[in-house]
Amino acid sequence: MKISANFIATRGGFTLDIDTAFSAGTVTAILGPNGSGKSTLLRALAGLQNVDSGEIVFGDRVVNAAPSVHVPPQDRSVGVVFQDYALFPHLSVAENIAFGPRSLGTSKKDAQAKSRVQMNLLGISELADRKPSEISGGQAQRVALARALATQPEILLLDEPLAALDAQTRESVRTELDGQIKAFAGCVVFVTHDPFDAMLLADRVIVLENGVITQEGTPGELAARPATDYVATLMGVNLIRGRAQAGLLHVDGGGVLQIPERSLEGEVLAVLRPEAISLHLNKPEGSARNVWEGTVTGLAPMHDRIRVSVQATPPVIATITHAALADLNLAVGASIWVSAKTLNIEAFRK
């Protein structure tokens, strides 16, 4: 089945303008900062939010077309894993999972059987009689998934499925979730603000910023060719905008860089990886064609490297080792030379 979503929805002064599609067997991540409309998009697909114009179509069934058609959530065949999971606190784990089948008219006995099957599949049978308050976050995540899958939906929607977990649990639950959603035959759409989750779990990523889709593609495409500063920052790369002409990139805001693609003309974006940038105390002489001077404006440790923000034309972020930091004796406010090989700058059309 294919979902096509082409609609505008407003929620308290915020406007979400969507035009995209989701297909079965594909895991799609909706990636965006807080307040970008990710959850509203998910709510619209689930039927919890009405659209103001346009329509949402599941297969050949119009489930929402403003202003007249709005199929309520209970008739949409969607399974939703909510942020914080929203397990019913007054019901046991087994009853939580049986709630969906019971709601759809399955007999009590059959609903309990379905609940047992789901618990077996997700390895949570021993939790059957516990209340949601008596299980851990990782377990709650599995119960929420089991509950969503128990109605055998065609679409599985997950709202920040890993956000409620602590860092340690997150790693193992992410691996589990990867297997579980890949085994699901229908459409999977999940919302996240964590690029890591999007990269590891999704086949396709939709980037949402301020209620509009700013980029769609595979995780690899996003990393190689980020279309916006937000994506570039998430991917940890420098994104440089400018006009290309005869192998030169005239950067918006000043500066000229040599680029390998001599045939590229007009408005382009260029990606420069922080690890491909060298920093020098004095003007370097060597093979690097692009050399420019700037001022250090920030130093931030990350894992085994240091991120150095340099104010220059163009401004860049470089990563260096602790040893290099000591050699360069860097501090905020210090002046520094930046160099990058032409081959390390990848320019492409917008």
Partner 1 sequence: MALVFLMVPLIALIAQTPWEAFPKIISSPEALEALRLSLLTSLAATALAAVFGIPMAWLLAREVLPFTGLMRALVIVPLLLPPVVSGVALLEALGRRGLVGGFLYDNFDITFPFTTIGVVIATTFVAMPFLIITLEGGFRSLHQRYEDAAATLGAGPKRIFFRVTMPMVAPAAIAGLVLCWARALGEFGATITFAGNFPGVTQTMPLAVYTALESDRSVAVALSLVLLVVSVGVLVALRGRYLQTRAS
- List residues binding partner 1 (CB under 8 A): 43, 46-48, 72-76, 78-80, 82-84, 86, 88-90, 99-100, 103-104, 147-148, 151
Q: How far apart are CA 233 and CA 239, in angstroms?
A: 8
Here the tokens at position 54 are 């346009």
Q: How far apart are the first and last CA of the chain?
A: 31
Q: Give SS3 for 108.
A: helix
At its nearest, how many Å lie between partner 1 and the CB of residue 250?
A: 51
Q: Which is nearer to partner 1, 84 or 134 (CB)?
A: 84
Q: Say what the alpha-carbon torsion angle 253, 255, 260, 262 is, to the nearest 10 degrees.
A: 80
Q: How far is the CB of 153 from partner 1 (least distance, A)?
A: 8
Residue 80 vs 244, nearer CB to partner 1: 80
Per-residue DSSP letter, 329: T
CB of 157 to partner 1, least distance (A): 8
Residue 220 parent element (H or E): helix 219-224
Q: How far is the CB of 87 from partner 1 (least distance, A)?
A: 8
d(CA 124, CA 144): 11
Smallest gap from Cβ 187 to partner 1, in A, equals 15
Q: How far apart are CA 138 and CA 116, in angstroms?
A: 19
User: From the CB of 40, what's the least distance to partner 1, in Å?
Assistant: 13
Output 43 or 170, the one with its CB closest to partner 1: 43
Nearer of residues 152 and 297 to partner 1, judged by Cβ: 152
Q: Amino acid identity, residue 221?
A: E
Supply the minimum distance, in Å, between the C-beta of residue 30 and partner 1: 17
Residue whose C-alpha is closest to residue 187's, from 158, 147, 220, 221: 158
Q: Measure the CA–CA gap between 185 and 25, rounded to whole angstroms.
A: 5
Closer Cβ to partner 1, 14 or 88, answer by number? 88
Query: Based on CB atoms, which residue is closest to partner 1, 89 or 179?
Result: 89
Report residue 126 as tokens: 């021993």
Q: What is the amino acid identity at position 309?
A: S
Please report, as a single letter, which amino acid is at residue 4.
S
Nearer to partner 1, 165 or 336 (CB): 165
- Minimum distance, C-beta of residue 151 to partner 1, in the bound complex (Å): 6
E strands, 223-289, where? Answer: 238-245, 248-251, 256-258, 266-272, 277-280
CB of 7 or CB of 99, closer to partner 1: 99
Q: Which residue, chain included where needed, has tokens 């050399």? A: 291
Residue 124 vs 269, nearer CB to partner 1: 124
Q: How far is the CB of 221 from partner 1 (least distance, A)?
A: 32
Tokens for 49, please give them. Answer: 């939010």
The residue whose two tokens read 């991917």 is 235
Q: Which two tokens stand for residue 93?
A: 């784990």
Cis link prior to 314 (omega < 30° from 0)? yes
